[in-house]
Amino acid sequence: MKLTREEVLHIARLARLGLTDAEVDRLREQLSNILENFEILQQVDTAGVPPTSHTVAIKNVMRPDEVADSLPPEQVLANAPQRDGDYFRIQAVLE
Amino acid sequence: MSIEYDRLTIYEASSLLRSGEISAVELTRACLERIRQVEPRVHALVTVTEEMALSQAQKADRLIAAGDADPLTGIPALIKDNICTRGVRTTCSSKMLENFVPPYDATVVERLGQRGAVIVGKTNMDEFAMGSSTENSALFVTNNPWDLSRVPGGSSGGSAAAVAAGEAFYALGSDTGGSIRQPAGFCNVTGLKPTYGRVSRYGLVAFASSLDQIGPLTRDVTDCALVLSAIAGYDTRDSTSIPYPTPDYPSCLVADISGLTIGVPKEYFVQGMQAEVEQAVRAAISKLEELGAKVEWEVSLPHTPYALAAYYIIAPSEASANLARYDGVKYGFSYRDAGSMWEAMEKTRQHGFGPEVKRRIMLGTYALSAGYYDAWYVKAQKVRTLLRQEFDQAFARFDALVTPTSPSVPFKIGEKTDDPLQMYLSDVFTIPVNIAGLPAISIPAGFAAGLPAVAKAKAGLPIGMQLIGKPFAEDTLLKIAHAYQQATDWHKKRPEV
């Protein structure tokens, strides 16, 4: 099973990952090879086996909804590539 | 100075501090001097925090003078560069975060700080902890202090190499599929991955959230117990940390292991592994038997061969979701010359991530995408259930399982970089532990000296032994590992760098 060029480009688009043509070719080879090796998973009989997303049996950890200090805006924005006042600045979403 | 500080354990240095033979400031200066000496050859550190370290050392000296010292007070430590340190850049060895300065400390850093620890720097790693050799660092390659032409393992390769080379007394690492244990084995240090949930992940840059754990890399098991006691415990800021009390691990270290049962899973002694690794680990297991443990030599965990594939579906899937946050908007690298917002985001990720990170994002996105989700991701999660059940069954009979940490000794720099699958295979013995969320420790178990290829490393190349335990039974692992170190000297050997 070999991934097509179109499939690689489709996955890259889902991941919002820009790739050069050379990267597309290389990833096509490498991902195909990796997935081919991982086909062995299909040999395992998993009928009736539930999936495990987490190894510790805890769910819905709750805490009281109390107001507490959070980071001040200056610290939140300190690493911003581009800021505008107290906002993160990005390019227009809708042209 | 007559004392070789770079060879002391935390306990030894701590007693010198408390007896007043040396001050924390002097110890920190000695450590910084050692860093200056060996860094040009080892390249383990991304950042040296000299100024902060000296100010923390002064504070430690005041605590010691006041009689308020903990064994970690005044002891120089290193932190892997994916663990947030307030005001000190935390790069994940990625171009994406090259200039990122966290506004807060990770819980583990905060806890070390409360004990008066001295942080001397941040350690190199595979980019975003994805790799087994530290060659995937976007910054530079780290060399193994035992043979500078070889890798230190990964992804916590900087932490392991630095502790081996005496650049600090201990280091924190993170372990998603072996990233503490495999480099510990490659550099002849002690490395522990705690049970999932034992140590807070708050402030650890997320890679695969159901697998990641922070743990210590130290010069012996006693130090490991000490550091684990300091960093473990429930944290309200990590809802996956477990509200169990933290044992006082150092007090668990009685050297008597008679009566403990240890299983040797045959699937971890496979064709293709290096003969010297197998021989050394089998000899180490015989030593445990000699010390009184009841060893069963032919245990079977039949699903083991599927763990690698399950891991490399689950971990990249989680990573592809976690790394979606790097969009060039809130922090990190940001591509500016794009025509649109979407193009800016794609170019940011294209130029900010290195090849292995891109590979895993692609693999994970594929496994989670429509039409493949059930066949790959859910299938891998079901295999995960079987792997855990198999471990649970084994632990009904055994207190611990013992395996080699890696199938080989440290490999040459560049040897596996062209073949991702070969690189993935170097984690084949450590990965099942993360899949099942178990604790495991790697300790030095010998040296391979017979291979002609290792002639350059005069002392030979380190071999690690892995002990795997029941969930939250770190105390049992530490006890067995400590008994072994009381009876052997491998962990006392230091590289000439």
Pairwise CB contact (< 8 Å): A16 & B386: no
CA pair distance B345, B367, nearest whole angstrom: 22
CA pair distance B364, B377, nearest whole angstrom: 9
pLDDT tens, N- to C-terminus, chain B (497 residues): 457 888 899 999 999 999 999 999 999 999 999 999 999 999 999 999 999 999 999 999 999 999 999 999 999 999 999 999 999 999 999 999 999 999 999 999 999 999 999 999 999 999 999 999 999 999 999 999 999 999 999 999 999 999 999 999 999 999 999 999 999 999 999 999 999 999 999 999 999 999 999 999 999 999 999 999 999 999 999 999 999 999 999 999 998 999 999 999 999 998 889 999 999 999 999 999 999 999 999 999 999 999 999 999 999 999 999 999 999 999 999 999 999 999 999 999 999 999 999 999 999 999 999 999 999 999 999 999 999 999 999 999 999 999 999 999 999 999 999 999 999 999 999 999 999 999 999 999 999 986 555 445 567 999 999 999 999 999 999 999 999 999 999 999 999 99
Residues pairing with B48 in the sheet: B121
Domain B261-310+374-492 superfamily per CATH: Amidase signature (AS) domain (3.90.1300.10)
Domain residue ranges in chain B: 5-252, 261-310+374-492
Q: B376 in contact with A at a CB cutoff of 8 Å?
A: yes
Nearest CA in chain B to A23: B355
| Cis peptide, bond prior to residue B94, ω within 30 of zero | no
Instruction: Judge contact between B93 and B81, C-beta under 8 A.
Output: yes
The confidence band for A56, taking pLDDT boundaries of 50, 70 and 90, is confident
Four-residue CA torsion sign, B63, B65, B71, B75? positive
Structurally, at CATH architecture level, domain B5-252 sits in Alpha-Beta Complex (3.90)
**CB neighbour class for B24 (10 Å; exposed up to 12, middle 13-18, buried from 19):** buried
State the nearest Cα–Cα gap between B104 and chain A, in angstroms: 9
Pairwise CB contact (< 8 Å): A34 & B363: yes
Compute the mean pLDDT over every residue in chain A, rounded to the nearest whole number. 94
**CB neighbour class for B52 (10 Å; exposed up to 12, middle 13-18, buried from 19):** middle
Residues 6 or more apart whose CB falls under 8 angstroms from that of B456 comprise: B147, B149
Q: B338 in contact with A at a CB cutoff of 8 Å?
A: yes
A17 contacts on B by Cβ (under 8 Å):
346, 349-350, 353, 358, 361-362
Q: What is the 3-state secondary structure (H, E, C) of chain B?
A: CCCCHHHCCHHHHHHHHHCCCCCHHHHHHHHHHHHHHHHHHHCCEEEECHHHHHHHHHHHHHHHHCCCCCCCCCCEEEEECCECECCECCCCCCHHHCCCCCCCCCHHHHHHHHCCCEEEEEECCCHHHCCCCCCCCCCCCCCECCECCECCCCCCHHHHHHHHCCCCCEEEEEECCCCCHHHHHHHCCEEEECCCCCECCCCECCCCCCCCEEEEEECCHHHHHHHHHHHECCCCCCCCCCCCCCCCHHHHCCCCCCCCEEEEEHHHCCCCCCHHHHHHHHHHHHHHHHCCCEEEEEECCCCHHHHHHHHHHHHHHHHHHHHHHCCCCCCCCCCCCCCCHHHHHHHHHHHHCCHHHHHHHHHHHHHHCCCCHHHHHHHHHHHHHHHHHHHHHHHCCCCEEEEECCCCCCCECCCCCCCHHHHHHCCCCCHHHHHHCCCEEEEEEEEECCCHHHCCCCCCEEEEEEEEECCCCHHHHHHHHHHHHHHCCHHHCCCCC
Long-range contacts of B326-329 (CB under 8 A, 24+ apart): B326/B96, B326/B352, B326/B353, B327/A16, B328/A81, B328/B352, B329/A80, B329/A81, B329/A88, B329/A90
Q: B354 in contact with A at a CB cutoff of 8 Å?
A: no
State the nearest Cα–Cα gap between A63 and chain B, in angstroms: 8
State the nearest Cα–Cα gap between B480 and chain A, in angstroms: 24
pLDDT of residue B459: 74
Inter-chain CB pairs, A–B, below 8 Å: 161
Which residue, among B199, B366, B376, B435, would best test binding to A if mutated, counting the most A CBs under 10 Å from its CB?
B366
What does DSSP say about strands A83-84 and B170-175: parallel, antiparallel, or unpaired? Answer: unpaired
- The CA-atom distances, in angstroms, between B410 and each of A69, B16, B151 are 47, 34, 6
**CB neighbour class for B496 (10 Å; exposed up to 12, middle 13-18, buried from 19):** exposed
Pairwise CB contact (< 8 Å): A93 & B338: no
Q: Which domains does chain A have, with CATH numbers?
A: 5-43 (1.10.20)
Pairwise CB contact (< 8 Å): A42 & B379: yes
Residues 6 or more apart whose CB falls under 8 angstroms from that of B12 comprise: none
Which residue, among A8, A20, A38, A59, would best test binding to B if mutated, counting the most B CBs under 10 Å from its CB?
A38
Q: Name the DSSP letter for residue A81.
A: S
Instruction: Judge contact between A18 and B347, C-beta under 8 A.
Output: yes
CA pair distance B454, B463, nearest whole angstrom: 13
pLDDT of residue B493: 95
The token pair at A25 is: 């070719």
